[in-house]
Chain A
Amino acid sequence: MKSARPKTRSGPCRVGLISMPFVSCFRPSIQLGLLKSVAAARRFSVHTFHLNLDFARQIGPGAYEEICAVRRAFIGDWLFAGAAFGDALPDRAPDFLTEYDSDIHAAITSVDKPAEYLRTVREAEVPQFLDAMMAELPWPDLEVIGFTSTFQQNAASLALAKRVKRAHPSIVTVFGGANVEGDMGVELVRAFPDIDYAVTGEGDRAFPEFLDALASGRDPATVAGVLCRRDGAVHGAGCRPAPVDLDTLPPPDYDEYFDRAERLGLLSMAPRRHVGIPFESSRGCWWGQKHHCTFCGLNGTGMAFRAKSPQRLRQELASAARRYRSFTFEAVDNILDMAYLRTVLPQLIEAGTDYELFYELKANLTREQLRLLRTAGVRQVQPGIESLSTRILRLMRKGATAAQNVNTLRWALYHGITVWWNLLYGFPGEHREDYLAQERLMPLLAHLPPPNGAYRIRMERFSPIFTDRAAFPARQVRPQASYRHIYPGHVALDRIAYFFDYTFVDALPEADLAGIRRRADAWRESWAEPVAPSLTFHAAEDFLQIEDARDPAQPGTYTFTGPLARIYRFCSDRPVTPSAVRARLNPDRPLDEVTEALSGFCTRGLMMRDGERYLSLALPATPGR
């Protein structure tokens, strides 16, 4: 490819940062908000344009969000592929709609004929949207435009970049975001000449330095993390910016997101907003640094864990609540910093804040920790439960057991914390019995929040199952099939893809996993009923009644007195061994008698056994203690 080196310039840059479809329209982009702040701190004139809002309004926010949520088919990228790649794209439209017919019908329920709707969006709505954005945005006032691209934002970003470069060739285009990490960024820069530069890795320092270089006439390609084409090759690959100290970053600026959402009528003007404000309290994954979960590719090549100081985080939340008039915050962190359990969270309780927080965290939380989280305002969590089999969890390197996962579900429910979780399958080394055991366990957990669904793991770039083929021998590893329908022939799909299709040599076939999928569906359906299943114990001293309404059609009550009542309560806080129960109950009791009693609870579905540990499944009748 011929060298394409944009002209360097002198003087301050006027910068536009753009978020294109498809990413949820319900929250601002933290990438745009943060880069606006860091660039503005260097005295650049920066405006953010959440154009995903415009497209959501145009095609309807309901269908728009459904497209954002599709897991397997990259419908969003497919919709913009025609506009992005034009004649270079083989006409695969019928193939795509046929191949993903079941995904499309399952995902898009807000319109009557989703396939026809998607065709209309691709052929009419997308060109109309791009024309409107070309007419509306102040292109002549901009010297640099930056696109953030994660998951399904590539094609739309490329489509707009192409039009901008045709109409305003002097504007410098730069891409950033997760889609630009590693080989993916190199291939984007190589394959698409409408991308002048890309910033790979953390952009907080690289992006303003890139702008500095442009403004001062230096070569931007000398900035660590900046990629560009030079002499037919991609320059700058392999040179990542150093991780930043998060406390040195300014808070993200979301003003233009809210202005735009209100101007478009997507969000009404009101004294207070119920909108989740994205915030970042840490980067990287402290668990992944020690034991990289086998299926996770989220942190790319930047696993190193860092967290903001408690004081800084509290200031940021307080200032964002005032500025955006919202008390709802969504952490973009991959994992909660456990030190916050001793610092930030008790401090928020002390301060009496009314925040509603979302966090991703590790699943082996205790009852006390979950109580602390809830009291501090954590209302929703994604604990990475993934399985109800300790053996499968070991194969995943999750660092948690099935009983710990169940216990997290129990005490989260008890303390009023919504849990988002999935069941995953398809791990090398799994056995059919691992799933049969889960099928037997799942009805006993009907009173606990159900999984969103049961899914085969996806092979993600940067995950151990992708990078460590010796440990995870896979056959037929190839870019996920949907990429074929999106990118032109000159694009190396194996370098631009994040998801890959594959076959593990010893993974179970789909037929062996139908049972767990059915159980997950039934579990979800039971929670959609007017009365959710329940399993509750009422305790007095040495007296216990367990009301079992997991099957509301056949409720029953168990009554226990004396040692059995005490055993049940003792096994309620956390999974415990028979030895511990015996030591607590009465050391004179033979161990086999204690074990027999624990087995008696298991036989009646009132406890679960996980290896040597037993866990009571019912929850106390008095909530929130």
Chain B
Amino acid sequence: MAGEIRITQDDIDSLATKLDNFSEALTNKERDVMSAIMRLAAGALESPSNQSRTSEMGTPEKSPGGRLSDGFRQAFEHGLGTTFRIRPGGAISHSIDGG
């Protein structure tokens, strides 16, 4: 469709690399100006008319259900991964906490 923006991860990576290189030539003030322009551009891309892009890993997010920050509840547990501890003879003794 005319005017539709289709963006891939490669496009973003390629542009980001070029901007990183380009930013080395800028003064702090020039960099601020570029950041402001990028914010405006990001706002334009986020407008309802440009919502045909895909989200990370190519799958659009389903319609929001609950606030994002709800996902932090009970996100933390003490300890790390666990595995079987196997004695030299091959018998499983018990599982242990990897932490």
Give A contacts to B, CB under 8 Å: 287, 290-291, 338, 362, 364-366, 368-369, 394, 399, 541-542, 547, 549, 554-564, 566-567, 569-570, 573-574, 577, 579-580, 582-589, 593-594, 596-597, 600, 604, 612
Alpha-carbon distance A564/B66, docked complex (angstroms) = 12
Instruction: Contact check, A556 vs B61: say whether CB atoms are below 8 A apart.
Output: no
Alpha-carbon distance A173/B23, docked complex (angstroms) = 48
Question: Which range contains the number of B residues in contact with the other chain?
Answer: 35 or more
Instruction: Contact check, B20 vs A364: say whether CB atoms are below 8 A apart.
Output: yes
Instruction: Contact check, A583 vs B46: say whether CB atoms are below 8 A apart.
Output: yes
Give B contacts to A, CB under 8 Å: 13, 16-17, 20-21, 23-25, 27-28, 35, 39, 42-43, 45-48, 50-51, 53, 55-57, 59-61, 63-64, 67-69, 71-72, 75-81, 99
In the bound complex, residues from chain A placing their C-beta under 8 Å from that of B25 are 290
Alpha-carbon distance A554/B97, docked complex (angstroms) = 12
CB-CB nearest in chain B for A582: B46
In the bound complex, residues from chain B placing their C-beta under 8 Å from that of A559 are 75, 77
Instruction: Contact check, B80 vs A560: say whether CB atoms are below 8 A apart.
Output: no
**Residue among A338, A556, A569, A587 making CB contact with B78, cutoff 8 Å:** A556
A335, chain B: closest CB distance, angstroms? 10
Alpha-carbon distance A566/B46, docked complex (angstroms) = 18
With A555-B80, A577-B42, A580-B42: A566-B72 Cβ-Cβ less than 8 Å: no
In the bound complex, residues from chain B placing their C-beta under 8 Å from that of A547 are 80-81
In the bound complex, residues from chain B placing their C-beta under 8 Å from that of A612 are 35, 39
Alpha-carbon distance A563/B59, docked complex (angstroms) = 11
With A566-B57, A587-B46: A338-B80 Cβ-Cβ less than 8 Å: no
**Residue among A368, A566, A574, A593 making CB contact with B67, cutoff 8 Å:** A593
With A563-B61, A574-B16, A579-B42: A585-B76 Cβ-Cβ less than 8 Å: no
B21, chain A: closest CB distance, angstroms? 6
Instruction: Contact check, B64 vs A588: say whether CB atoms are below 8 A apart.
Output: yes
- Given A369-B17, A588-B51, 15 additional A-B pairs, CB 8 A: A291-B27, A364-B23, A366-B16, A555-B78, A556-B78, A558-B75, A566-B61, A574-B20, A577-B42, A585-B61, A586-B55, A593-B69, A594-B68, A596-B67, A600-B69
A536, chain B: closest CB distance, angstroms? 9
With A586-B55, A594-B68: A549-B24 Cβ-Cβ less than 8 Å: no
Alpha-carbon distance A2/B80, docked complex (angstroms) = 78
Instruction: Contact check, A566 vs B69: say whether CB atoms are below 8 A apart.
Output: no
Closest A-B pairs by Cβ, 7 of them: A586-B61, A555-B99, A597-B68, A564-B71, A579-B42, A583-B46, A566-B56
A181, chain B: closest CB distance, angstroms? 27
Instruction: Contact check, A556 vs B13: say whether CB atoms are below 8 A apart.
Output: no
Alpha-carbon distance A549/B20, docked complex (angstroms) = 31
Alpha-carbon distance A426/B27, docked complex (angstroms) = 22
**Residue among A364, A394, A560, A579 making CB contact with B43, cutoff 8 Å:** A579
Instruction: Contact check, A563 vs B68: say whether CB atoms are below 8 A apart.
Output: yes
